[in-house]
Structure formats: structure tokens, C-alpha cells
Structure 1
Amino acid sequence: MIISFVFVLSLAGGFYFFMYERFTWEISGYRSNPDLKTVRPDWKGNPVNPQGRFLNENLEPLPGFSDLLKWQREPNPQKAEKKTDTFRLKVTKNSDFLSNNEDCVVWLGHATFFIRLNGVRILTDPVLESPSALMKRYSALPVAVSELKDMDYIIVSHDHRDHCDEKSLKTLAPQNLNATYLTGLGLDTLLNNFTKNPNIQAAGWYQTYQTDTSKIEIIYLPARHWARRYLNDTNKNLWGAYLIRANGKSIYFGSDSGYGTHYQDFAKYFGGVDVALLGVGAYKPEWFMSASHAGPKDAVRAAHEMKAKRMIPMHYGTFDLSDEPLGDCYRSLQKLQKAPQNQGLIQLAGVGEVIKL
């Protein structure tokens, strides 16, 4: 089975904690950042268990350690296809978008996007090369790393290494001295260690970051996922998604998430979104992965439920993290595009392609 060893170790460590450290799936309290505004009136804060570890909104537990072992033992029905798959994402080498002032979204690979909205420059989950020697990168960065400078905000959605990369953050820090880092509860300490930048805001779900609201509004929102960076820190840091709004335009950055009721809640509380950046990869085998990574079908379902006008898929084609072949998501999305109910919804962006808003 061809799987990223680092990814498996991360899963294994997390499930070891759930299995042997007596992780309890019950609420003992709620946490939020008292310095940030909560926009959902009935929201108590993020639920935590008696150990102070964060929980998913509906208390959905992850698969157990025995499930992880089962995944590693069972045959991959797509093994032969995966071995011969030559798919690569189309990469357009282009940095012109960095020097103009147009509202746009540019996919830089995996979950990394450059977003400019109302003149505000944002970078999401910057992973600019392979996070480790054991995790090969299959799509090149479309710009030179040195050109990713003068950002206003750098988003780090959660602590997994394919979203929170120490080397990338340390490289970006001196190029973005005036940037503010936006993350979830608990992760501010790690980001400060990496960047030496005191301008870090850590939010709970449904909390608005402190920004110049005449220019932009950014809200941290629920995702169905989990967190783990080291051996004994499972769910000590929060995970989440983002809503970015300015000048009547809106973007949802979904980061990592399994399918859940939070997409329907999004439509209920925010009324929809212009562009949804949704993860579709690292989803097979679905019986095991769907709890924390939506596949193409679930992501499209989520886009409909959250009333997205456009969906740009991400989190596929850059790293090999699970059982599906590298091109599996792309081919599945091409088929889904043809369904009458999906006409005009799914936009398969190339890496480096400028999507104007």
C-alpha cells in the first residue's frame, strides 16, 4: 500500500491517544476567546471534554485504533490503478496576480491559496514544499517563495503538518513582518514559536477576528476534523474553517473536514457564499477516512447545502495521503460536473490559475 508514512504516523499517534489515554467523548465545558466577538447568538463556545481536549460539534468520534490497523492490513482495490496513474495537476507558472489589485483566488497547491479581496492579501495554510522527505510533492509551486510577501493575513486552520508547515512558516515570517496570523484556539503558541510574530489571533468557532471591518471580515467556523502535532497533544489545538467577506463578496475556506451538519448550519446563519474552497482528497477508504476528509461526492453535497455559487475543489493532487490514485478526485469531479444539478457549480482550477471574483 503506497501511503505517506508521516500521515499514517500522525493518525496512529492520534488514535493511540484515543484508545489508551482514555479520551472521553463527553462535554465538560466550553471555550472561546473572550477578546473576540461571537457571531452566533446561541453558541456557548467550543465543547471540551474533562481532559480539556476539543470535541467535534455533534460529538462525532473518530475511528478507533483497531480501525487504523484494519486499514493498514486490508488490500487497496485501486492498488494497480494507483501504481500506474500518471495524473498531474496542471501548473501555470505565474506571479503577475501578486502585483495587481484585482479580487481573485489563486490555488498554490493542496490547501494553500492566495486570496485578494478588497485589496487585502491573504495566504491560507502555507505549505510551500514537501513537509518531510517522506511526503513527496507532486505539483510545483506556481510562484517563487520569495514573491509571497507583504501579506495582510496568514491563515493556519489547524496543526496537521500538511496545513501547518514549520519550514514554510519560518521562511514566510521575515517576508511578511506586518502580517497577522489567524488560527484556532491553542495554536497561537506554536505559531509564535515558528514565526516570532506577536500578531496572532486564536479564535473559537463562530468568532470574528479583529480586522479593519471597513475592509474585510474574517470568521472562524466549525469543521469536522481533529488535531495532533506531537505524541500527546491530540485535540489540544482547535481546527476550523473560515468565512472571508468584503464589499459584498464572500469566500469560504473549508480546510480539512468530513461531511457534517455544519454545512447546513452555515447556510442557516450566513445565507450562502460566493466561492467555497472545499477539500476533496485523502478520502479512501471512505469507511475510515470520511470522518475527517470529505470525498468529491460529499464535498459537492456540502457545496449545495451551504448554498455556494461556486465550488473550487482542493486538497488533492499535491500529496499522496491515502488509498485513492492521484487523479481519482479529478476524474470523479469531472463526472460530477456533468450532472444537471451541478451545472456551473464545480470549477476545477489549475495550480497558478487566477480565478477572478
Structure 2
Amino acid sequence: MTEQTASTEHTAPAEPTPADPTETGPRPLGQVRDWPRSFADRLTAPLPGVRAMARLAREGAVRPSAEGLRDIPRLPFDPEPLPAVDPATVAVTWAGHASWIVRIGGLTVLTDPVWSRRILGTPARITPVGVRWEDLPPVDAVVISHNHYDHLDAPTIRRLPRDTPVFVPAGLGRWFRRRRFTRVTELDWWEAAELRGVRFDFVPSHHWSKRTLTDTCRSLWGGWVLTDTHGQRVYFAGDTGYGHWFKEIGRRHPGIDLALLPIGAYAPRWWLRDVHTDPEEAVQAFQDLGARIMAPMHWATFVLSSEPVLEPLTRLLAAWQQAGLPRDHLWDLPIGSSRLLD
């Protein structure tokens, strides 16, 4: 199931007051924990009501028009060999959508790996994967933002060795343990774990979770902040709407060097505003975070919504320029390309 948004027909539930991550140390790796049956109290907007569903069905605005699809051949795709790195170097490679190869602190970390050509309920990907699976270095860890099909892809997960360390939101560990993964670490918002000197902090996002008809909000959703021993810091937002969490993430994790932020799957706006940032909101989120560099993602891969396929980048570039931000601090990478942090 690809994600759909919440309408604003009802008042959102109150949010819990999170603890400060400096109050507790990293959680033990692989710890099996008890979680609430539902995380619906973490929603920052209500889920769709009957009227919103009826309006979507009436308007039928879930895919771009033929004109909106005509720029598919122009989407940025430029695969290249992965750059050589040492343990002090941070490098990122965009494989497409929300899938990144992040090399930090000597680790190779995959974010929301989706190497499948097709996901449930969505047309086949409109650009190939930017890095062939067989060209990946050994994977040291995987982070998952939430359980929607375009972020948690079972066929891709099956390719991983079962002893791969996996970092997942609270409540999602049993999905992996059922598939015989042996090193699964579940975290709540503002909790952290460490692997070979790299810290994995799980942070909030404005989103939700659902994978079947009966598991709405049964697991949590969020983003990840990865920090190496030199203090180099990469923020992977996962999937999120715009809201107050960005300033709080920036306050608790100052000095983010690189923010991987979603810019696509935002139209129609009345339907997707609560769960997906549009390009202008992504620029605002970047500023709220106080990050140094932004790399856009969550576009140019799957057709999940009705905006023209090239529009997210066009609007992002305009918003970036309007905000007066340095052009070289925006890494609008083609799929398959890499950058190294200074």
C-alpha cells in the first residue's frame, strides 16, 4: 500500500512529551521490547475520513496527466561507480526514491532499500535503480523509516543476509524477526543505538504507518540521524509532511551536515499536505533543521501522486533561489550519483 494522507476533518490527538536524548545512553542492540498496541496518539494529523475518500474518488486526481508524464525521459539518471572512501569520509549515493547508500564511520548503511521494479498498488518505477545490487559493498546496517511499501520492500529485504543489523521504528521488529533476521533493534522517538562507533538516532516525522487492512499505526514512523565519531552528521527524513518536528530535531541534533529530504508525491495538496512535504516546505524544513547541505529524494522514481514528474525539482530550484541559499549547498543528484562531504 502506498501512503495516502490525512484529511483535516477532526482534531489531531495530543502528542506525548518526548524525553531529551541526553538523559539516557544508547539502547542495547537487538533488544526485544514490549510496545503499545497502537501509535495513533503520535499522529500529527487525523487519518482520512469518508468525505475525503469520496472526494478523492470523485476527482480521480491520483496520477499525472499524459502531459505530466511526458518528461519521464528527462528525469535525472546518471549511474556511476561508488566512490572510494575511508572511515573518516562520509559519502552518499542516491539509488532512487528514499533509498540511499550512506557510508559513514567505516559503515555502509542502506536507507529504506527498494530495489524492486514494482511495488504493490503502484505503476512500475519510471527510472531504474541507480546502483545494481551486485555492485553494493557489504551492507553493514539498514535503517527503515516506516512500513509503507515504497519504503519497506520485502523482495529487497530478502536479499540481505539474516545477520544484517537492522534499525527500525518501534513495533516493526516482529516483521523482521518473522523473516529470521537476528539483529533487529527497535527504537522509539528520541532513542539511539550504536554500531561500531556510529550512532543511530530515531527522530519523529509527520507521517503514519499501515501495511495491511488491520495494522494501521501499529508501528511507529520517523527519520534517522547518523553520527560518526568525528561528529559528522547525516539526517535521513524518511517520509514526512512539514511541521514543528524539524526545528526540534535541529535543536537536539545541532550541526547536521547533510539532510536527505523528500520533495515529491505532494499533489493533490489537500490530500497529501499532512504527510508529504512539497518542494517549498522541504526548503523550509532544511532551514528549520539548521543543516548545511540538502539532498532531495522521494521523487523521479515511482508515480505516487498527480504532480508532473519533473515539477518537484523545478519548484525546488526556484524555492532554493528565492530563499537566497548557496547553490552548491543543494545536492540535486541524478539517480545513481554520489557526493562526499568535505
Give the TM-score normalised by the residue count of structure 1: 0.82
Mapped to 1, the partners of 2:206 and 2:153 lie a distance apart of 21
Q: Secondary structure at the match of 1:308?
A: coil
Q: How does 1:69-218 map to 2 (within 5 A)?
A: 69-74=54-59, 76=61, 79=65, 81-97=67-83, 100-101=85-86, 102-129=89-116, 130-132=118-120, 134-171=122-159, 173-174=160-161, 177-194=162-179, 196-212=180-196, 215-218=197-200
The answer to whether residue 215 in structure 2 is matched with residue 227 in structure 1 is: no
**Which digits, 9 at most, give the CA deviation of each residue in 1:75-124, with x for residues without a partner?**
65963531433354322232343x64342010000000000112111000
Higher relative contact order (CA 8 A, sep 6+): 2
Which structure 2 residue ranges, 5 or more long, are not aligned? 25-35
Matched, 1:264 2:247: yes
| Greater fraction helix | 1
Q: TM-score, normalised by structure 2?
A: 0.85
Kindly state the Cα deviation for residue 304 of structure 1 after the two structures are TM-superposed. Answer: 0.2
For 1:28 and 1:143, locate their aligned partners in 2 and report how far apart those are by CA, in whole Å: 39
Q: CA deviation at 1:145?
A: 1.2
SS of 1:209's partner is: strand
Task: Write out the 4+ residue segments of structure 1 that deviate beyond 6 Å after TM superposition.
Answer: 27-30
Q: Distance in 2 between matches of 1:58 and 1:236?
A: 12
CA distance in 2, matches of 1:315, 1:348: 12
**Could you tell me whether the CA contact under 8 Å between 2:122 and 2:303 is conserved in 1?**
no
- Distance change >3 Å, CA 53–CA 179, structure 1 → 2: same
Distance 2:309 2:15 in 1: 41
1:277 equivalenced with 2:260 (yes/no): yes
User: Within 5 Å, which residues of 2 pair with 1:53-72?
Assistant: 53-55=38-40, 57=42, 59-72=44-57
Q: Which residue is equivalent to 1:3?
A: none
Aligned-pair CA distance for 1:352: 1.5
Aligned alpha-carbon RMSD (Å) = 3.0
Partner of 1:45: none
The residue that corresponds to 1:294 in the other structure is: 277
SS at 1:242's partner residue? strand
- Which piece of structure 1 moves more, 81-90 or 65-74? 81-90
**SS of match in other structure, 2:207:** coil
- Residue of structure 2 equivalent to 1:241: 223
Residue identity matched to 1:189: R
Percent identical among aligned pairs is 26
Deviations along 1:26-61, one digit per CA (max 9) or x if unpaired, are 46989x9xxxx961559xxxxxxxx83213657432
Taking the aligned partners of 1:327 and 1:349, their CA distance within structure 2 comes to 14
2:126 maps to a residue whose letter is Y
Shift of 1:166: 0.4
- Report the equivalent of 2:308: 325
Q: Unpaired runs of 5+ in structure 1?
A: 1-5, 43-50
Distance 2:190 2:258 in 1: 19
Q: Is the 8 A contact 1:158 1:240 kept in 2?
A: yes
Cα deviations by residue, 1:223-245 (Å, 9 ceiling, x for unpaired): 01000010110000111100011
Q: Distance in 2 between matches of 1:141 and 1:28?
A: 37
Total equivalences in the alignment: 324
Cα 1:324–1:56 change in 2 (3 A) is: farther
Q: What is aligned with 2:336?
A: 352
